[in-house]
Structure formats: C-alpha cells, structure tokens
Chains A and B, each alone.
Chain A
Amino acid sequence: MKRRQAIVVGLVVGVTASVGVIAGAAGRAPARLPNGRSVGPMVPADTGAGELLLAVVGGVFSSRQEAEAANAALAFGDLQGYYVVPVAQFQGFRQEVGEPGEFALVSAFRTDEGARAFAELAAMLGIEATILPERVRSLGGLYAGLGQEASPDGTGPLLGPVAESLP
C-alpha cells in the first residue's frame, strides 16, 4: 500500500516538475525566427484598401483588352511586371496621369524605395515606368502588386501599412 502511494506521489511530483520546466523554457524562448517571420511561398493579394500608395505606371488604355495586350508584350522576362487595373480603383489617379483611359498598367508600393527599385528595373529593361508624384488612395478592387517590396527592417517583404501610407 505504502509502495503504491509512493509511486503515485512520485509520478505527480515528476509530472508537475516537468510541466514547470517546460513552461519556464517556453517563457524564455526566442521570439524571432532565425530567418525572419515566415511569409509563405505566395505573395498575398493585398490591395491596401484605404491606404495612400505610390503608383508606378506603364501606360493608360481605353479598354482592358488593349491594356492586357500591351502588358503581355512587355519584356519583364520571368518576373511579374505590371498589373492591369481599372483607373477608377485609385482615387486621384486620373487627375495625376492626365491622360484619358479606363485601364492602366500599374504596380503599387508603400515606400519610395520600393517604387524606385521597380522603376529602375523597368528602365533597365527599356520599359516605360512613371512614378506618380503624389500618392493615390486605394479603393480596393484588383490586386496591383502591393507587397512586392522590401520591408525597411530588412527581414522580408513589406506586408502591411507604413506611416506614409496611412491616411
């Protein structure tokens, strides 16, 4: 009888001690992953609705078909270049571009560095790229390339708003 009690007490003490050790270790576990937070293999389809974004523009066209055809002809190689989006999905876009047309080749960014890097890539490949001088407000709609720029902290892509993009 005494022997059985001793086993039960031993088990209870052992399990309690183990739980305590594990809980203590978890509290001290490093919060940062060695390769940064995981973002997964897919670029999230973030439209940045409501944010003020920088738009790099490759042209404005009267119809979606024309815009798609022009986009397909651009030599971005194996990289995704512009996205075809309705002009109306960015507030202020039409006024800044100053050209008639309902669809545009656009890639949207939150930081100056991101927009500049993309414009430089396009220029290097001989492709037209104009960074609109003022930020435009995203009203949602189709995905326009947001998230394909480096985060200022250097850990990976920028997947959320920054101070400049918040209204």
Chain B
Amino acid sequence: MRKGSQRRGGLRFLSSAIAIAVVLPLIVAFHWSRLGWRDGHVNYPSRPSGYTQIVNRFGQPCNAEARAISMRWRAADNGVMYWFSFHRKLGGRPTAMVSDKGGRSTNLDNDVYGHIQNAHLQPYIKHGIYGYACRAKRNSNEWSTHAFGIAIDVSSAEEYMGKCTSTVNKYHASIWQNHGWYWGLAFCDPMHFQYATNY
C-alpha cells in the first residue's frame, strides 16, 4: 500500500519534471521576432549636440512635429497603459509591427520597443512613462528636451530624478544607447533618455 503511493508520487514528480523540461525552453526561446518584428534602423536623424543643433534638427520647442507621433507602453508593475507622444523624426514609420503614423523613422516605436520586448526586458519597464511635454526643466527656466519631443522618461517613480544609480532601467539602457539615445544617469536622472547631448 505504502509502496504504491510512493510510486504514484514518483510518477507525478517525473511527469511534472518532464512537463517543465519541455515547456520552459519553449517559453525562454520565444522572441518577439517570431511575431514578425525586425530591427529596422531606418532613417535615424543624427543626434544633435546643444540647443542650437536641437532646434536646427527638430524645430522650436513645443512645435507640432514634436508631438506628431504617439505610442502606448504598458508598465509591468501596475499594468497601466501609458500613452505618450514624441517627435515625428523618431518613429511612426510603418513596419510589420507599427502601423503607418506618418513618421519618418523606425527608431522608438519599432526598434527600441521591439528590442526590449524581444530581449524579454519588459518586466523592467515600471510605471511612470511619458514623452512630449511643453515644459521647462525642473527648477529651471530652460526648455526641457521633452518640449522638443526628443526625451522619454521610463520607470519615473522608481528611477526618480536625483538618484545617481539605476535599479531597473539599467537592464535596457544599452538598447536605448545603441539607438542614439543618451541616458540621463550621467546627470543623476536615471528615468530619462534623450535624443541629444550637451543639453
């Protein structure tokens, strides 16, 4: 009797182990590219340095092009879907995963977003995600890069301004950097990625 229940327990353990061994590799091996995503790298603008180059490349702060393209991104921790806008030159070009939004490049909504999904880094996108905002920098009267639609803040509550280390954005920062974005960790603003330097 005891031997029979031991055998049943052993069989159950074995079948669970086999199920895990079969399913786990399938989950891990799944990549977003299987859904048709490809890194486009099409028509990226060169990254400006300083205010004058930003204006020459992206126009005046708060101009209509700065908020021409929108996308949504779900935060992994609270499940909230964030809508935000950004510059027409930084995305909105049609791809297998992005509908035609009238944009010029594949940078943000296809390439950066797709890389993060493909590499299973979505769990490190926490709440507080925003892009274009016609505002000045905090405690300053200088226009923020957000006013040009060339800055995105990600995981803003967790990666707050003034924190000089990163706990979640560090997992995907290299993807942004490989697509022309400058990470604000250099000036203790780890939530912030901007498509410009020296400003």
Contact: A149 with B62, CB < 8 Å? Answer: yes
Complex contacts, A38 vs chain B, CB 8 Å: 55, 60
**With contact pairs A45-B141, A117-B134, A156-B59 given, residues A150 and B157 touching in the complex (Cβ less than 8 Å):** no
A166 located at the interface, meaning its Cβ lies under 8 Å from any Cβ of chain B in the complex: no
B59, A148: Cβ atoms closer than 8 Å:
no
A-side interface residues, number (CB < 8 Å): 31
> Is B156 within 8 A of A41, CB to CB?
no
In chain B between 118 and 161, which residues have their CB closer than 8 angstroms to a CB of chain A? 128, 130, 133-144, 146-147, 153, 156-157, 160-161
Q: Does A19 contact B (CB under 8 A)?
A: no
Q: Does B63 contact A (CB under 8 A)?
A: yes
A36 sits at the interface (CB 8 A): yes
Q: Indicate if the CB atoms of B160 and A75 lie closer than 8 Å.
A: yes
Known A-B contacts A41-B51, A75-B156, A124-B130; the reply to A36 vs B161 at CB < 8 A is: no
Among residues 29 to 53 in chain B, which have CB atoms less than 8 Å away from a CB atom of chain A?
A: 51
B184 beta carbon closer than 8 Å to chain A: yes
Given contacts A125-B128, A154-B63, A154-B64, contact A80 B153 (CB under 8 A): no
B109 interface residue (CB < 8 Å to A): no
Establish whether residues A77 and B60, one from each chain, have CB atoms under 8 Å apart when the complex forms: no
The residues in A between 110 and 125 inclusive whose CB is less than 8 angstroms from any CB of B are: 114, 117-118, 121, 124-125
Contacting pair A156 B138 (CB below 8 A): no
Interface of B is mostly: loop
Cβ-closest chain B residue relative to A44: B141
Chain B residues closer than 8 Å to A154, beta-carbon distance? 63-64
**Are A36 and B191 in touch, CB under 8 angstroms?**
no
Is B142 a contact of A43 with CB atoms below 8 Å? yes
The dominant DSSP class at the A interface is: loop
Interface residues of B in 90-110 (CB under 8 A from A): none
B13 part of interface (Cβ distance < 8 Å): no
Cβ proximity bits A140-153 to B, threshold 8 Å, 1 near / 0 not: 00000000111100
**Given known A-B contacts A35-B56, A43-B142, A157 and B62 have beta carbons under 8 A apart:** yes
- Distance (whole angstroms) from the CB of B30 to the closest CB of chain A: 31
Which chain A residue has the least Cβ–Cβ distance from B51?
A41
Minimum C-beta distance from A150 to chain B (A): 4
Within 8 A of B (CB), among A65-80: 75-80
Chain B interface residue count, Cβ-Cβ cutoff 8 angstroms: 36
Q: Tell yes or no: A37 within 8 A of B by CB.
A: yes
Q: How far is the CA of A114 from the CA of B132 in the complex (A)?
A: 13
Contact A43 B143 (CB under 8 A): yes
Contact at A155–B60, with CB atoms within 8 Å? yes
Interface contact B191-A77, CB-CB below 8 Å: yes
* Residues A42 and B142 in contact in the complex (CB < 8 Å), given A80-B136, A148-B134: yes
Select one of A43, A75, A156 contacting B60, CB under 8 A: A156
| Bound-complex Cα distance A154 to B156 (A) | 28
Which A residues are in CB contact (< 8 Å) with B192? Answer: 77-78
Verify A76–B138 contact, CB threshold 8 A: yes
Q: How far is the CA of A76 from the CA of B114 in the complex (A)?
A: 27
Inter-subunit contact A36/B82 (CB<8 Å): no
Which of B130, B135, B147, B189 is most buried by chain A, counting CB atoms within 10 A of its CB?
A: B135
Asked if A39 lies at the interface with its beta carbon under 8 angstroms from chain B, I say yes
Residues from chain B with a CB closer than 8 A to the CB of A77 are: 128, 130, 138, 153, 156, 160-161, 191-192
A-B contacts, 7 listed (Cβ < 8 Å): A35-B55, A39-B60, A78-B189, A79-B137, A117-B133, A121-B130, A148-B62
